[in-house]
């Protein structure tokens, strides 16, 4: 993201701009896990420039982004969990590529303090899914950083391996 004062590009987890010292105000809103709503999640993904397609059940939506993979976002209030999933297809699957992807997922998990990424495959379909437990306080930035980890750790590997969104 960019500093609102000097427009320097700064890390998503910055609290202050390393260039001008401005306090970072974006994505600082927090919400109690018990009070989280699908609307809160939709607002957050919209701020991140995703297009939203709400599913008819009202508890989940598809978040689409021109420059990224799509995410299925689901809020299960009774289980107190948010799941964020990407469903992908791989042209030709081989052990070496799958190992690279497993390594990328493991690396992402070592960086994430919020949710754990898991990889499953079903013929040509790959699913990368994360469960985020609704703890007492969820800060927007936690989810933003989480998506950033996906972007940095997993997406470029998927791009290299010719994995496409479906
Ligand atoms: Zn700045």
Model confidence over 98-127: pLDDT tens digits? 888 889 889 888 888 777 888 887 766 778
Burial (CB < 10 A; 0-12, 13-18, 19+), residue 9, is: exposed
Band of pLDDT at residue 63, cut at 50, 70 and 90: very high
**For residue 166, is pLDDT > 70?**
no
Helix (H) / strand (E) containing 46: helix 38-47
| pLDDT number for residue 154 | 84
The DSSP code for 15 is S
Separation of CA 23 and ligand 1 centre (Å): 8
Separation of CA 10 and ligand 1 centre (Å): 8
Single out the residue of 17, 39, 53, 31 nearest to residue 141, CA to CA.
31
Q: How is residue 21 written in tokens?
A: 């010292």
Q: Hey, what domains does the chain have and what are their CATH numbers?
A: 30-165 (3.30.1460.10)
Band of pLDDT at residue 3, cut at 50, 70 and 90: confident
The CA-CA-CA angle for residues 151, 113, 143, to 5°, reads: 55
Range 58-63 average pLDDT? 95
Separation of CA 12 and ligand 1 centre (Å): 13
| pLDDT number for residue 75 | 96
Q: What's the rounded Cα separation, in Å, for the pair 92 and 88?
A: 12
Separation of CA 54 and ligand 1 centre (Å): 35
Separation of CA 29 and ligand 1 centre (Å): 20
**For residue 21, is pLDDT > 80?**
yes
| pLDDT number for residue 111 | 85
**For residue 69, is pLDDT > 70?**
yes
Separation of CA 140 and ligand 1 centre (Å): 20
| pLDDT number for residue 90 | 72
Separation of CA 24 and ligand 1 centre (Å): 9
Separation of CA 144 and ligand 1 centre (Å): 19
| pLDDT number for residue 59 | 95
| pLDDT number for residue 165 | 65
Separation of CA 150 and ligand 1 centre (Å): 25
Q: Count CA atoms within 13 Å of residue 25 on its CB side.
A: 3
Band of pLDDT at residue 141, cut at 50, 70 and 90: confident
Task: Report helix angle 38-47 to 140-149, nearest 10.
Answer: 60
| pLDDT number for residue 125 | 72
Helix (H) / strand (E) containing 116: strand 116-122
């Amino acid at each position: 993201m960019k500093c609102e004062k000097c427009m320097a590009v700064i890390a998503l987890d910055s609290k202050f701009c390393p260039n001008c010292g401005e306090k970072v105000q974006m994505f600082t809103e927090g919400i109690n896990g018990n009070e989280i709503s699908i609307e809160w999640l939709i607002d957050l993904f919209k701020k991140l420039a995703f297009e939203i397609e709400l599913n008819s059940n009202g508890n989940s939506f598809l978040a689409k982004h021109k420059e990224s993979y799509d995410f299925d976002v689901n809020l299960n209030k009774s289980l107190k969990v948010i799941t964020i999933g990407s469903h992908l297809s791989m042209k030709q699957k081989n052990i070496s590529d799958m190992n690279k992807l497993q390594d990328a997922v493991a690396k992402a998990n070592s960086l994430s303090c919020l949710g754990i990424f898991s990889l499953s495959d079903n013929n040509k379909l790959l699913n990368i899914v994360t469960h985020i437990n609704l703890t007492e306080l969820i800060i927007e930035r936690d989810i933003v950083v989480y998506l950033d980890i996906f972007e940095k750790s997993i997406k470029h590997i998927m791009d290299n391996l010719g994995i496409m969104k479906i």
